[in-house]
Amino acid sequence: MQLGLVALAVVFLSSMGYNNSLKVSRGRRHRHTSTEVPPSCSSGCESCSEYNGCTKCRPRLFILLERSEIRQTGVCLATCPVGYYGIRNRDVNRCTQCKIENCADCFSRTFCTKCKEGLYSYIGRCYHSCPEGLTTINSTMECVVQCELGEWSQWGPCMKKNKTCGFKKGNQSRRREPTQPPSPATVTGHASASTCAPETESRKCTVQKRVPCGKDYERTVLEHLQAVGLSQMLRVVIQQTTSVYAASINTICS
């Protein structure tokens, strides 16, 4: 009787172990199968994983790695968000975080396009105040070279399409030059950017007498010369006729 109970217990335990091993093997097969089946990729992805999101984007799109604690998830974007700049290469286009000091948005690894609030921008860098020799322009937070311009020049000739003939109404311009060149001082190793450029002003003008161009001008001159030549010929003929007539009268009278 006791021997039978022992045998029954052995059979029961063996069946329990078999069931557990069967469940484990099924679980392993299930997990293996789930990794082989690619999950549905989000918009713009060419390949992705369930845990890391997009791993490769479609051409021309940038991949951005969003961090959540120790996990990184890839997202495909047409343009990089504020605080990031795009880097394109043959293998992958990436959004890289801007790491320039006090910069809110940047164009590249070394050039800031927007500083944090309250800071001044100059040649892709951010400052608490404009460097020496520079000033702000139009109450903005951009530093420029201080500039003084001289007197206006005389108005230039009336022109149209870079020509001074063949039109009735055109434009004329004048300009004024900086009184002195910008300071050659440098800031953080960069040459001082010159925004002190000559200033030009233009206005509409009207030609008092239309001057023809090219063949029209040559034809006008020729017609004028011909007219003058005919007048001179007529004058000569009249003078000669008058002289002959006067000589004839003198001969008769004598």
Predicted TM-score (pTM) of the model is 0.44
**pLDDT tens digit sequence for 62-74:** 999 988 778 888 9
**pLDDT tens digit sequence for 192-230:** 444 577 889 999 999 887 777 766 555 654 555 565 555
In order of 124, 163, 172, 194, 198, the CA distances from 201 in angstroms are 31, 18, 9, 20, 10
Domains and CATH numbers, the chain: 36-97 (2.10.220.10)
